[in-house]
Structure formats: C-alpha cells, structure tokens
Structure 1
C-alpha cells in the first residue's frame, strides 16, 4: 500500500510518521511471521484523527497496519502457513470510536478487537489475551502524554517491539511546572531527584538532547529493551522539533529494519517541509520559485542534514572501531549495531561504505566472497590498514 501525501495537507507530521510505519510494518511482519504463528498489533490511541482518506482509513496508523497485516497473511497462506493476525484498537472519544467500529468490517482477515475508553484501563486485559509465544507491536501515540507506567506490561513482553511518541514540544514548554503529571511520572523514572534542575540549566539543542535522553532512559530501564533509537519529527514551517518517536527493540535485526524505515521517513520529512516552506514563501512574497534552490530546499532541511552528519560520523566511528580492535580484526556483526544504534545510517549504506574502503585498500577483509558482494556477511573479519 502506498500512502497518498494529498491526504496530509495541514498534518504533514503525520505523513512523516505514517511513511515510517508504511515501510517498517511489512518488513517487521515479514520477518517475525516466518518464526511466529501469531502477530498482534496494539494501537493504544487509534483515532481516527482528521482522516481525509474516507472510509478506507488509508491515512491512519491502524489503517496502514491492518492493510499490511492482511497482505502478509495472504502471502503466508499462499506458502502454506496460516499465521494468525490480531489487532487491539483503543480509542476513548465516542465519535472516533464509532468510526473505528465501522473500520472492522473492512478487514475480515484480521481478528480486530475495538475497545472504547482509556488505554490505561485496557492494558491488563490486552496483555492477558496475548499468548507468550506470540509477537506484538505496540503503538503509543497520544495527543499528549500517556500514563507511561501503566503501559509497561505491554512494553515488557519479551517477543515485542514498540513505537512511543514523546511530545517534545509540550515537554519543552511545560516541563517542570507540574502542569503535566504524566510527564512528571515519565521523566522521574530515569532521574527522580534532579531532572528539573538539569533541564532548567540548559537550552536549545542541549535541552532537546537532554529531554530525549531522559525519555529514552526511562523506557529502556523499565521495559528492558536493548536498543531505543529516535526519529525527530519537526514542525512544518519552523526548524524545531514537534515530537520524538522512540523505537524499542531487543534485537539488532529490529534496529536494521528501523534505520531503513527511518530513512524513508526523513526523506519524506525533508520533501514535505521544503514544499510547505516554498508554498508559504510564495504566498507571502508572490515571488514563485525564485529561491526554490535556496535556504528551504531539500538539501538544507534538518532531516537531510541529520543524514549527512550521521554518515560522516559513522565513517569516523567505523575507522576508530577497527583501529582499536583488540585482536586487530573486528567482525562485521560486532561493528554495525553500535553505529546504527546512535546514528541515522542504514545497514546497507554502512556495508557499502566498508566495501568502498576495502576497494580503496583502507580496510582488509580476508576471504571476501567475491567482487559482486556489496555488504559484508556477519562473520566477515575487518581490519583498518591505516
């Protein structure tokens, strides 16, 4: 399913998030359903919110998920595997819940349970209904801050991944004021004594990084995930973050899928923000595309800059890692996860970068399979020649 950008005018941030989900979910389901007999999607704040796609809900998170679940189930049926697909969709607003109930009939291949009320009140029942051996993906994407502690039984499942929205813009404006108790609960988990003092002592990018660090740390230490990379979704017309999407996985393969999907989302963000700024400028100045290649162009967008800086830093980290390897060699499977955890680069980009350095004589890679091989295999030994 291809999501239609025309449905996202005025809510471009949702387009960025949905681009990620549209890339991530089929890759996730395709991987886990080769091992698990049941996949469960949980959307704790399902909406639909401001859907413009009509009754097919293709521009909603749950619509994207259910479409991919349907496609993947049919694919596995064609291969002789009957993978059970279930979804729990929670929404407290009565009018939105009525729309959610109508959506159930559109997906007869999926066992959908729509639940009216607050997500916090349904978590225990949802967890109890998911077998231990099933794999679940949970989306926690409220308009504000959830009572994150009540979500932990879902997040703490061992066979699970999750995406959690941290509303940075709200936190940046109201953090430390006692106006948002759920935010206080969330951040106090990681720094109960001094987080307010630390926040007040910094500003700008330092403050943004600290909020992100505190939010991620609280989720990781409570739910036991190994990796928790973040996508920053910016305001459309301003170079400031709106919210942070925190991804949780226990496996390096999940990290690999995340970075591929993040790249699609960041590219979408650069394009939509640049187009919106150009449209705004044109409306204000009547100068058309005179400056179309200037400050607001895609190469100058914050998302594009994140990718560019990440690739530069990844190259430096790789060199340092190989230079300081105790045995002189480092296996590829030991190199890429720590780099992908911290930097917005894909596994394939980093692998091709290794191959380019190998061809240039900067990296030794004994027993490289063939010149057709572009990305190292997991057991491939690498050494920096210096």
Structure 2
C-alpha cells in the first residue's frame, strides 16, 4: 500500500510518523557513531488503526526500521557494532497482543513489551534503559491519545534520563476545548499534566491561537525544567480537514545538534502535511457533492491557514532575534540560531534571510567569518553586530 492508502482518514498520523521517521533517520546514525547502544522507548505503542499487515504504519515499526538502517550503515562504513534495544508499552490487551506478536518475530534487536499503563510501568522502563549500560543512549516517545496518563510527575523519571531525548505528543486539539472548563476535576487534571497551575493565569483572556501558544510554551518550559533539558521546540500538526491545530510534537534535547535534526524533519514534513490535507479536503468535498472535481487536490487547495501560521511564527521568531540584537548589540550567531528556531515553522534559512536584509539596510555586520565564507555558521565564533543607533 502507498502512504496515501495507509493513512487515508488519519493524515495527522502520517505527518507525525514522517517527523518521527525523518528525525530517527539522522538521530540514530549520529548517536550510533558515538554510542554503542541505541535504546528506543515507545510509551503508547498501540497498534491503532494500522492497515499494513507488517505494521509499516505504526510508530514502533517505523522506529525499528530506522534504527536498523543506521546500525547497518555504521557497520558497513566503520565496522561499528551498534546494539538495538526497544521497550514497547501498551495498556490495551488486544493491541498489546499484536504488539507482542510483532516483537516476538524480531531476532536482531532486544525488545521487551508490557501490557500496562504508563503510570504502572515507569520503574520497568527506567530499569530497562539502565540495563543498556553506560554506553546506551535512550530516545523516549510519549504519544498518548488524550491529556491523561502522562502527567508531569509521572513522566519525570523519563525526563531525568541523561543522556537522552524525548518527543511528546501534546494533544492540543483535546486540551484547547477544556482549558477554560470550570470543573475542578478537569482543572486538576491539567495541573497534573502541566506540573503546576500557573498555566491558567497565562492562558486566561487570550484568543484561540495565543491560548494554544501559551499552553504549549508553558508545558515545554516545565518539561525542560523537570528534565534539565537545555533546548526545546515543537512542530505543529494540523487537522486534515479543518484549519485547526490537531497536536504539537514537543521535542526536548540537551544538544543543539538534536534541534538541527528535528527542525530539518519538521521542515520536510510541512510539504507532506499540506499535500495530505489537500487530498483529505478534496475527498470531503467530493463526498459532500457526490461528484468528482475537475482539477487535482493540489491545484484546488487553499493553503491560507498554513501560510498565516508561518507568517505568525516567523514574526515571533524574528522579533526574538531582533530584541536580542538591540539589547546586546553583539550576538553570537549560535544564540541567534537558537532563538530563531525556538518557534515552529521557523528555520535557519529564514534567519539567514533576515541577516541579509539587516545587512543591506546597514543595521548589521557579521564578524568572525573566514575570507571565503559567505554566510555565518554555528560553532565558528561568528558574531552579529547591531549598528542601529
């Protein structure tokens, strides 16, 4: 089956899996070049709504495939023997039976599965990670279907794993509907999710997008703090048929290289997302009208919502960089890069475009570059000097 057939009706999962696959494609190779063991933990494995008999449209199969590819490439290129270890968790008994059947058929990686909730399984997960040894690097994927079952206090031991990186599916669409709920039980659930009740004051009185941004930012900030992560960013995954955010994928790392890899995956995924949304929306129109359309989905797709979101976050990212330049007057390119890429839909190519604009306007000069170097690079002591009075 093609991706279109595998993910028809769940295009948001296609985007999520694409980002996971593209990230792990580079992550596994980079980390495997320095660490002897790659440990992957999938906390809500499923499988759910898969159409492939080989589970090719499941997160656990996608992850294992990329880990294998990296291991085999490293073996061929440098004779490195990288070991693979996976922990797959699923609380639904029927889904877990399929998961275990898949795992039992794997002979070239150490895989453990558990039929339990995440809350019940934290000790087993951390023990599994530690049994990988001092030369093991873990990656934890937390992909729930709602906002419960992965409260900040619950996942804290997973966030504490160091070294380690974490990807969390923050179910923005579900959370948005209940942020202002007056019910004490709902608000207590959110307090446990965020790790504090401070989010309520930060989202109160804001518009829809501002409220979503504030919620995602607050959750990211708390998760970074709990886990001692240096960096965090997120990718927006839109609803296939509506101009709404379905969820945000929040990525946490202690290494800038991770941000680079994740943002590159995000950038590639956005084209996939708009193509998938165009097809999903055309199918909906055809079903409603009862007749085919003359032109293809891409030609008829209205990308205004995506473009407006990109303009929104580009403006926020540009403002962050500009404020730092105006206050510090001299800013390391690496620091400008971190600020620019902290927002979704903002990439290094955008930062370099802003730099060229500011240079042409006479407001900025770049110092520390080599004679033949045309643009600033990270890790090379390139500085941005702000000259505006």
TM-score class normalised by the smaller sequence: 0.7 to 0.9
**Cα pair distance change 1:320/1:212, threshold 3 Å:** closer
Pairing partner for 1:186 from 181, 193, 199: 193
| Distance in 2 (alpha carbons) for counterparts of 1:256 and 1:3 | 29
**Cα pair distance change 1:105/1:291, threshold 3 Å:** closer
Cα deviation for residue 292 of structure 1 reads 6.2
| Distance in 1 (alpha carbons) for counterparts of 2:36 and 2:298 | 50
Who is 1:297 aligned against? 302
Cα deviation for residue 185 of structure 1 reads 1.2
Who is 1:84 aligned against? 83
| Distance in 2 (alpha carbons) for counterparts of 1:42 and 1:353 | 39
Deviations 1:172-223 (A, max 9, x none): 3334421586434113x2326xx44665544422322232233223322322
Q: What 5-or-longer segments of structure 1 have no aligned partner? A: none
**Cα pair distance change 1:207/1:356, threshold 3 Å:** closer
Counterpart contact for 1:355–1:374, Cα < 8 Å: no
Counterpart contact for 1:355–1:375, Cα < 8 Å: no
**Cα pair distance change 1:293/1:150, threshold 3 Å:** closer
Task: Give 1:209-288 correspondences, 5 Å limit.
Answer: 209-285=213-289, 286=291, 288=293
| Distance in 1 (alpha carbons) for counterparts of 2:283 and 2:157 | 45
| Distance in 2 (alpha carbons) for counterparts of 1:310 and 1:84 | 40
Aligned-CA RMSD value: 3.0
| Distance in 2 (alpha carbons) for counterparts of 1:252 and 1:292 | 38
Pairing partner for 2:208 from 204, 220, 231: 204
Report the 3-state secondary structure (helix = DSSP H, G, I; strand = E; otherwise coil) of the residue aligned with 1:229. Answer: strand
**Cα pair distance change 1:228/1:315, threshold 3 Å:** closer
Report the 3-state secondary structure (helix = DSSP H, G, I; strand = E; otherwise coil) of the residue aligned with 2:342. Answer: helix
| Distance in 2 (alpha carbons) for counterparts of 1:122 and 1:240 | 33
Count of residue correspondences? 377
Between 19-28 and 359-368, report the one with greater CA deviation: 359-368
Verify: 1:12 aligned to 2:16, yes or no.
no
Counterpart contact for 1:86–1:111, Cα < 8 Å: yes
TM-score normalised over the length of structure 2: 0.85
Cα deviation for residue 312 of structure 1 reads 5.0
Report the 3-state secondary structure (helix = DSSP H, G, I; strand = E; otherwise coil) of the residue aligned with 1:365. Answer: strand
**Cα pair distance change 1:210/1:337, threshold 3 Å:** closer
Who is 2:141 aligned against? 139
Between 315-324 and 123-132, report the one with greater CA deviation: 315-324
Report the 3-state secondary structure (helix = DSSP H, G, I; strand = E; otherwise coil) of the residue aligned with 1:228. Answer: strand
Report the 3-state secondary structure (helix = DSSP H, G, I; strand = E; otherwise coil) of the residue aligned with 1:54. Answer: coil
**Cα pair distance change 1:107/1:357, threshold 3 Å:** farther
Verify: 1:128 aligned to 2:127, yes or no.
yes
